[in-house]
Amino acid sequence: MPLSIKIVTTANRTRFFHQSDERQVAKSIAMLTGTTNIYATSSLLLSSALQAEVFSPRRIALIELDGDSTPANRPGQSDVRITAIDPDDSAPVYELNEGAAGRFRVDFFFVGGYVLSTRVEVDNAEATFADRARRVTRLFEVPLIGYTSANGGVGLMNPSAMTRAVITPAGEIVPADALLVDDF
């Protein structure tokens, strides 16, 4: 049950780490997914027999864990399901305001230039039209955003490292505090 750990920093640098020891895999998964404040800690240390690498969690854009033993439940809001997609995927026509589930594309932009393209599904049951759009904007207010990686693993975005999110389509009804502009 090997585990692959991908760390993308706000300097737009990607580092990959691998674990094959079953006990260490379980420990890493528990440590990274078992808390909602991983990005508020003072440091993140990854160590092997050859070297140790220390990260400033506040300077990490996202972490992805891929392997057979990654948990099925993702950290974050239960009414928002986020799945990473290939950035070159042409987004199918999604609906933000139709039916019980809103589906749309969101491209998350991070300090340093890294972009994560995703498909987002929002549980719209018992939500007003304005609440449906506001659920996505609230993602900037949480300490950690969980998502499913493109390989089916667990992803952990750092909202404080995000600069913006582009939602496609925008929807016809927006929150009252939105600034309305011409199409661009």
Classify 120 as helix, strand or coil.
strand
CA–CA distance, 74 with 43 (Å, rounded to integer) = 23
Q: At 90, phi and psi to the nearest 5?
A: -80, 125
Question: Of 45, 32, 37, whose CA–CA distance to 154 is shortest?
Answer: 32
CA–CA distance, 91 with 85 (Å, rounded to integer) = 9
Predicted TM-score of the model (pTM): 0.85
CA–CA distance, 103 with 90 (Å, rounded to integer) = 14
Residuewise pLDDT in 10s, the chain (184 residues): 789 999 999 999 999 999 998 888 888 888 888 877 889 999 999 999 899 999 999 999 999 999 876 665 566 556 778 999 987 876 556 665 555 567 788 899 999 999 999 988 877 666 666 666 666 667 778 888 999 999 899 999 999 999 998 888 766 666 667 777 887 6
